[in-house]
Structure 1
Amino acid sequence: MRARRTSAEDSPITHVERVAARAGRTVPWPAWVPRTLRDAYGFPPWEHQATAASLAQAGQHVVLATGTASGKSLAYQMPALSRLLDDPRATVLYLSPTKALAADQLRALIRLGIDGVRPATYDGDTPREEREWVRRHSRFVLTNPDMLHHALLPGHAKWAPFLRRLAYVVIDECHSYRGVFGSHVAHVLRRLRRLSAQYGSSPTFILASATSGDPADAASRLTGLPVTAVTDDASPRGAVTFALWEPPLLPSDEPPPAPAPRQAVPPAPAGTDPADRYDTVPLTDTTATTPLNDATMTAALTDATMAAALTDATMTAPLIGTTATAPPTDATMTADGRTRRSALSETADLLTDAVVAGTRTLAFVRSRRAAEVVAAMTRRSLDEAVPGLGDRVAAYRAGYLKEDRRAIEQALMSGDLLALASTNALELGVDLVGLDAVLICGYPGTRASLWQQAGRAGRAGGEALAVLVARDDPLDTYLVHHPEALFGRPVEATVLDPANPYVLGPQLCCAAAESALRPADLALFGGAVAQEAVDALTRSGALRKRPTGWYWTHQGRPDVDLRGTGGAPVAVVESATGRLLGTVDQGSSHVMLHPGAVYLHQGTSYVVDGLDLDEAVALVHAEEPDWSTHARDVTDLSVLSVREYVDAGPVGLFLGEVDVTSQVVSYQRRRIGTGEVIDTRPLDLPARELRTVAVWFTISPNALLTAGVEPGDIPGALHAAEHAAIGLLPLMATCDRWDIGGLSTANHADTECPTVFVYDGHPGGAGFAERAYATAKAWLRATREAIASCACETGCPSCVQSPKCGNGNNPLDKKKAIAVLDAVLAALPDQP
């Protein structure tokens, strides 16, 4: 890697962190573990494995939060399998967030060869003819929260023997249950506990997590039970070399590449797999100048609040949103004309070097499209050097068919593949033995995820290499130049809120549809807040109260989507053959699969012939056009209510509910290579509404004048501050910039003054706006520092330009953004 540059000063490596190797600590097998099981493993457990297993065997709910490859599987297999061997009628339920992880765990259980356990997966890939066998005969069922919610709990009568004997519930990778998805899963587990109790069982919960900020509290909120945490990792670990890599600026005498086409994409559809949505967000319409429609606020602002925010001087300005992203490019251009190589190009080059050197490498990228692009670039470079060598590189992402995913996993584990470009679909604990290095293309949003991805490398305790390749983004740039923000700091706590009314109400309807809700059940679902929700559901007619409890009033089951993807995935079907290529979630379908869109699948380009949203089918045909497509949308935001606020004189800080409406209205075709716009074509797609939680600040025009921000400077100053604030919020909250959206305007219809909004990209909110409100001064101070410390003259992707901006990063005013933030910080108290 160092040899790629001629001098240390010219090196893209900004920091190298060396994590020392660590010896492991084994202990004797606990006396309660049967000899059969000890012999099946053939080695003694690590201390943390035995500690967690003994707590679970004694009936305590436990969460094991240790590093990647620390053997968490053995910790829950020990008590679970021991119980199955001791009690021939007992059963165990295993939950994982992905089907790949459940399949991997099934292989591990089968390798143990223990008679009578009959482990089996029960998920969307399980053929229907096998599901009845699993219900009747398997004693160790591996599934996921979606299947538990959609099939097992609604059909609990058929699962009665299994639930009656349920001894353990294993929740693997529980740190992944965060935000709205995590809040839904929390209630699915409460529904499981309620039905299990009705059948006479009270299972012990064993949770496995990556290292997190407060694993016991997060596990308790997830399960609704007191949970003991085991966090002292006693497993051996090989030395890790962790490099931070900033793609270089291209020489000033080298002509910049032609502008690469921008790929349209919306703020993350709620609950979507975080890495599977970033290549599919629509651009905000850059020509839209219509201000927001008048909106009636459902909660009145006090006079004192508004007095802090309003002045006689008002001005109208177009809304400036951040609801789009750019795709891979060869380089990005700073505002002062300099160009920096893209993170994708650097990652593809490093992956090429790794394969040539025989280094088995996994490259994590942040989108489905990027996974395809990095794999294609790497294959092309390798085939130019050694024909056929490119065949040892593949892409891996969600949306592939089951057989394609399994074939790629097997090829990687067997060594047929030397390298893989993957979304975070392989971040979780799939046993990828024998990897030497991990490339992480762009900060994944949290330190927990960063270390989880880095932990994929290391051969049986051998040394490993991890490289974080920074994107041209304020947060990435900040981190590669402030390594103390990554290393030596605890990872984030998991954020979830089971009391979220957008989650609680629908989940109570599901519970009532499964079995009548009794007053005693409400304590399980939150007590007073559950009672309020039940009363509201009863008034609306969704539930009916009877002496024996509350009953679901409709014929069908409640339609509740745990991951918030907007419904069933859209099937991508080849028109000529009827072959199913893959699937795309509903939240991304308007952008990825609109009529005329170019869709990438395993390196092949297809053009969409038609999209049927009612039938959830898109028909495509294979074609290699010389143009790319880029969807465009218009977005409006209205304030519904204010939960909390800070009156800081000329500055107001608010937390409340907002309504964000967006509609994909057209798409551009752009020439590949030059970025030339061929034409813009209209689309007729339905509008989508997101009711969520936002944090926003207002500042009076008089205060802006005092700070040196003239009326004509306000749009660019607020726009630049908004971009940087969104980029830096992941320092404070367990999110990344793709979980959140933003809007700025010189005069908002609801606040009647200059305003910057940052909102959660999840229905009902996910806790990120609340975290921003609670840490507002620290958050905005870091934002101000990131802008001021950037060496560019007028703003660049490293500070105020955004890859999500639908207005083409125009207008932006870097210097005036600093003035705005100085004025806000001077007025805000240290704590709201």
Structure 2
Amino acid sequence: MTQEILTYFQNKKYFRDRIEHIEEIPPRRARYSIEDPNLPAALSDYLDKNNIKLYTHQYKTLQSVRSGENVCITTPTSSGKTLSFTLPVLEDLTLNENDTALYLYPTKALANDQLKSILKVDEECELEINPAKYDGDTPKSERPKIKQTSRLILTNPYELHLILPWHKQWERFFRNLKYIIIDEAHQYRGVFGSNMALLIRRLKRICKFYGSDPQFIVSTATLANPQEFSEKLTGLNFKIIDENGAPSGRKYFIFYNPYKVASKNPSIHTDTQKLFKTYIENDMQTICFEISRKMAEVVALRSKKELQNTNLKLANQITAYRAGYTVDERKKIEDDLKNGKIRGIVTTNALELGINIGSLDSVMIAGYPGTLISTWQQAGRAGRKNQESIITLLAFQNPLDQYFMKHPKVFFNKTHEHAIIDLNNREILRGHLKCAAYENPIRYDEIENFGFDDEGVVFDEISDLEMEGILKYTHDVWKYDDEKLLKQDKTPNFEVNLSDVRSEPYKVFNGHQFLEEMSEKQAFREAHENAVLIHNGDTYLVREMDIANKRIYVKKVDLDYYTQALKEIDVKIVREEKNQKFNDITLSYGKLNVKEKYDRFNTIHYSKISSSKKLNLPPLNFKTQGFWFTIPYDIKEELKHEMGNTNIKFNDMFMGAMQGVVNIMLSVSPFHVMCDTYDLGGVTKNMHESTLNATIFIYDAFEDGVGLTKKAFKLFKDIIKMSYEMIHDCECSDGCPACIYTSQQQTDDKNLNKKATEFILKRLYEITKDA
């Protein structure tokens, strides 16, 4: 089947002309353990009955957990990680009738799916563990019984964050807690990861209070730094299990570029639909990952319509799948997909995680998902065991997608990214210290357990909270001030947003209907007055932005234009902590003060700016981390000579060239440090007051920073190399969205100049590569 479709693509000019590369990934044979696992009779019989033999990494995990070690399993998707950590947990709970276990999943859907598997084992083996899911969807009538009888509970970080203040109701569970499992742990990175790390430390405090000291089992996709990551996440030492004994079939990985051929209206969405339909018509069960809910629905709907006239049965076997569907709807789709009743499904990353949907013939990924981890997680949905499969990565017309199309070896040879967790964000620490004190008074000897490089920072934050009257020092402990609590209408746990640094979100309303929440920065960027806000594929016009009460009021309107806010950025160097010299280039890293002022917005109609209006928003000021480097005077003079006489003022050209460098670096850096483009900010200064030179700044776009640019500082040479290759390989003449133009950064791009940008990047590359 796979060979026939590959031959069809090679013979069909439309597809052949757009295929940049096909990588053949050889099959991998299963490696089973030959050791007897010596499991309790009920579990042993279950494995025999279901014809399950343990892979080498599953047996190794079993032995490591039995010996009392904290274990981090870092193997590819579909390698049987769930059985790896569930088997030793069920063994212990079978042998020790009081022990309990807590499973943490990043999403409710994943917890629902895993619960089904555990319930099946519990029922067939008559273990009487009473596994249960506990989250916001759990009926109130069932909650008391779960707290009293369940020995294995599945939940998510958001629910745990709200459970901890009520730990006395969970005394039985916490007193006997033997295992904490953190599944799909690679999701906890950046701001979410830093919050999760402090949430885990709060959980450990509660366990210690009740006399338990649980083992941790962390399960994650393949990472470059599993040891560092798991230790920062939990504050404990870990045994790493990274060998993979699971089999997989031969895979053909296609790089497909809709923009390779000059055509009137190239479109990734049109080509996604063509390929999706082609795979399904050739009897390949296919999952297509889209970047947005709207496009998932659109591609599924258009594919169904096209097939209704030619193959009605097949048309009825296509569906979309995304967040927002009811639990029953999602469950039916998952079951139908697993049973083969659905032949084609278009989804967001909602099905990227380990929900069991069986094995597929084809995976389509419409646009690079942002990280190699996500790409391989999605690709791993096809071709389990000995089954051949095809993965198709379609490129958007943005710099990183187009770079991979031209440099497939970089993609396939690149080790997986580092997952960054920074424990030194004082703003995040402050929120969790308030929560911890509210849950249980903080003792002085607990300060080191909060994981900061400098324990003095923790003490300083506690002292500040005491000075502000939030914490009260009494009987040798800091406790949350009861009088302060009475003045508030919510506990500190409701003030801390695990997905953001600045905790209080803006709420968006259409009349009395609540639509969504967003961070302050996103609100200023996308939901200022007269902005066009897109929600679930519908367009809304922002009527009012109430900054004092953090509320946004919108009206649903059909619009054929969109808006883009523009900002001015000012940056001051607070403290240089590291520096490195590359001949005349000085690269530095340290603390920065950033002021972002959204001062106007453009209305864009059919890709053209139709109007530009002023905004009256207060500036966003924050302290952060970042790196900066100078452009030597010699390069500036060489550029002036290189460009010769033009009608463009040289200073405008030079600033446009520097802005092009920033745009490309902001596109490239997420590949190296595993983050979203919006997690970083950048600005150029023709003559900065501290460096007395032309300077480019790249910074973490969060209060106090989360360690992203700290990692990027170390990889500066790699980032410059990739940036130069990206612009050098782009076939456009004057700059395009595949090189220097970007929709991510809200800065004025009117002076962008491809030739000047390429010249600067070439010189930077030549200087740094020889250093």
Could you tell me the TM-score, scaled by structure 2's length? 0.86
Contact 1:28 1:44 in 2 (8 A): no
1:189 maps onto 2:195 in alignment: no
Q: CA RMSD in A?
A: 3.4
How far apart are 1:580 and its partner, in Å?
A: 6.9
In 1, the alpha carbon distance for the partners of 2:254 and 2:523 equals 37
Q: Hey, which of these two has a bigger chunk of helix by percent?
A: 2
Residue of structure 2 in register with 1:714 after alignment: 654
How far apart are 1:211 and its partner, in Å?
A: 1.4
In 2, the alpha carbon distance for the partners of 1:615 and 1:105 equals 40
Which one of the candidate residues 441, 452, 476 is aligned to 1:548? 476
Contact 2:663 2:742 in 1 (8 A): yes
1:630 maps onto 2:570 in alignment: no
Shift in CA distance, 805/128, structure 1 to aligned 2, threshold 3 Å: same
Other structure's SS at 1:14 match: strand
Other structure's SS at 2:640 match: coil
Residue of structure 2 in register with 1:231 after alignment: 242
1:506 maps onto 2:442 in alignment: no
In 2, the alpha carbon distance for the partners of 1:195 and 1:372 equals 44
Residue of structure 1 in register with 2:637 after alignment: 705
Equivalent residue letter for 2:586: G
Shift in CA distance, 765/410, structure 1 to aligned 2, threshold 3 Å: farther
Spell out, residue by residue over 1:431-484, the C-alpha distance to the aligned partner (whole angstroms, 9 max, x if none): 121322111122223322221110011355422211111222222222222222
1:561 maps onto 2:493 in alignment: no
1:121 maps onto 2:54 in alignment: no
Other structure's SS at 1:75 match: helix
After TM superposition, list the pairs within 5 Å mapping 1:748-787 onto structure 2. 748=688, 751=691, 753-787=693-727
Equivalent residue letter for 1:629: Y
Shift in CA distance, 565/515, structure 1 to aligned 2, threshold 3 Å: closer
Contact 2:565 2:601 in 1 (8 A): yes
Residue of structure 1 in register with 2:488 after alignment: none
1:734 maps onto 2:734 in alignment: no
Q: Which moved more, 1:466-475 or 1:537-546?
A: 537-546
How far apart are 1:127 and its partner, in Å?
A: 3.0
In 2, the alpha carbon distance for the partners of 1:202 and 1:60 equals 12
In 2, the alpha carbon distance for the partners of 1:38 and 1:481 equals 51
Q: Which moved more, 1:57-66 or 1:477-486?
A: 477-486
How far apart are 1:725 and its partner, in Å?
A: 1.6
In 2, the alpha carbon distance for the partners of 1:225 and 1:458 equals 36
Shift in CA distance, 822/607, structure 1 to aligned 2, threshold 3 Å: closer
Residue of structure 2 in register with 1:17 after alignment: 23
In 2, the alpha carbon distance for the partners of 1:716 and 1:593 equals 28
How far apart are 1:238 and its partner, in Å?
A: 1.4
Which one of the candidate residues 811, 818, 826 is aligned to 2:758? 818
Q: Which moved more, 1:130-139 or 1:409-418?
A: 409-418
Residue of structure 1 in register with 2:115 after alignment: 106
In 1, the alpha carbon distance for the partners of 2:528 and 2:669 equals 32
Contact 1:436 1:459 in 2 (8 A): no
Residue of structure 2 in register with 1:44 after alignment: 53
Other structure's SS at 1:152 match: helix
Contact 1:704 1:823 in 2 (8 A): no
1:477 maps onto 2:405 in alignment: no
How far apart are 1:220 and its partner, in Å?
A: 1.6
Shift in CA distance, 39/782, structure 1 to aligned 2, threshold 3 Å: same
Shift in CA distance, 406/659, structure 1 to aligned 2, threshold 3 Å: farther
Equivalent residue letter for 2:250: A
Which one of the candidate residues 390, 398, 409 is aligned to 1:465? 390
1:200 maps onto 2:132 in alignment: no
Shift in CA distance, 497/584, structure 1 to aligned 2, threshold 3 Å: closer
Spell out, residue by residue over 1:645-664, the C-alpha distance to the aligned partner (whole angstroms, 9 max, x if none): 34567533222333444466
Structure 1 residue runs without a partner (length 5+): 258-340
Other structure's SS at 2:421 match: coil
In 2, the alpha carbon distance for the partners of 1:777 and 1:668 equals 35
In 1, the alpha carbon distance for the partners of 2:550 and 2:41 equals 53
Residue of structure 1 in register with 2:645 after alignment: none
How far apart are 1:130 and its partner, in Å?
A: 2.9
Contact 1:401 1:582 in 2 (8 A): no
Residue of structure 1 in register with 2:171 after alignment: 160
Spell out, residue by residue over 1:252-277, the C-alpha distance to the aligned partner (whole angstroms, 9 max, x if none): xx6x44xxxxxxxxxxxxxxxxxxxx
Shift in CA distance, 794/579, structure 1 to aligned 2, threshold 3 Å: closer
Structure 2 residue runs without a partner (length 5+): 486-490, 642-649
After TM superposition, list the pairs within 5 Å mapping 1:93-492 onto structure 2. 93-112=102-121, 113=123, 114-149=126-161, 151-251=162-262, 256-257=264-265, 341-383=266-308, 392-398=317-323, 405-406=330-331, 408-458=333-383, 461-492=386-417
Q: Which moved more, 1:462-471 or 1:682-691?
A: 682-691
In 2, the alpha carbon distance for the partners of 1:376 and 1:628 equals 24
How far apart are 1:209 and its partner, in Å?
A: 1.2
**Higher RCO (Cα < 8 Å, 6 or more apart):** 1
Other structure's SS at 1:238 match: coil
Shift in CA distance, 581/706, structure 1 to aligned 2, threshold 3 Å: closer
Shift in CA distance, 647/581, structure 1 to aligned 2, threshold 3 Å: closer
In 2, the alpha carbon distance for the partners of 1:420 and 1:610 equals 39
How far apart are 1:49 and its partner, in Å?
A: 0.7
How far apart are 1:78 and its partner, in Å?
A: 0.7
Residue of structure 2 in register with 1:62 after alignment: 71
Residue of structure 2 in register with 1:802 after alignment: 742
In 2, the alpha carbon distance for the partners of 1:388 and 1:15 equals 34
How far apart are 1:348 and its partner, in Å?
A: 2.6
Contact 1:22 1:236 in 2 (8 A): yes
In 1, the alpha carbon distance for the partners of 2:326 and 2:612 equals 33
Other structure's SS at 2:442 match: coil
In 1, the alpha carbon distance for the partners of 2:14 and 2:534 equals 39
How far apart are 1:798 and its partner, in Å?
A: 2.8
Equivalent residue letter for 1:39: D
Shift in CA distance, 366/613, structure 1 to aligned 2, threshold 3 Å: farther
1:788 maps onto 2:728 in alignment: yes
How far apart are 1:491 and its partner, in Å?
A: 1.4
How far apart are 1:108 and its partner, in Å?
A: 1.1
Other structure's SS at 2:726 match: helix
Contact 1:146 1:562 in 2 (8 A): yes
How far apart are 1:199 and its partner, in Å?
A: 0.7
Shift in CA distance, 135/226, structure 1 to aligned 2, threshold 3 Å: same
Other structure's SS at 2:422 match: coil
Shift in CA distance, 500/27, structure 1 to aligned 2, threshold 3 Å: same
Contact 2:566 2:747 in 1 (8 A): no
How far apart are 1:185 and its partner, in Å?
A: 1.2
1:658 maps onto 2:667 in alignment: no
How far apart are 1:84 and its partner, in Å?
A: 1.5
- Give me the identity figure in percent: 30
Residue of structure 2 in register with 1:321 after alignment: none
Contact 1:693 1:765 in 2 (8 A): yes
In 2, the alpha carbon distance for the partners of 1:465 and 1:803 equals 31
How far apart are 1:498 and its partner, in Å?
A: 1.8
In 2, the alpha carbon distance for the partners of 1:768 and 1:563 equals 16
After TM superposition, list the pairs within 5 Å mapping 1:595-610 onto structure 2. none
Residue of structure 2 in register with 1:326 after alignment: none
Q: Which moved more, 1:804-813 or 1:674-683?
A: 674-683
Equivalent residue letter for 1:133: K
Shift in CA distance, 790/250, structure 1 to aligned 2, threshold 3 Å: closer
Equivalent residue letter for 1:95: L
Residue of structure 2 in register with 1:85 after alignment: 94
In 2, the alpha carbon distance for the partners of 1:686 and 1:128 equals 43
How far apart are 1:739 and its partner, in Å?
A: 3.1
In 2, the alpha carbon distance for the partners of 1:394 and 1:77 equals 32
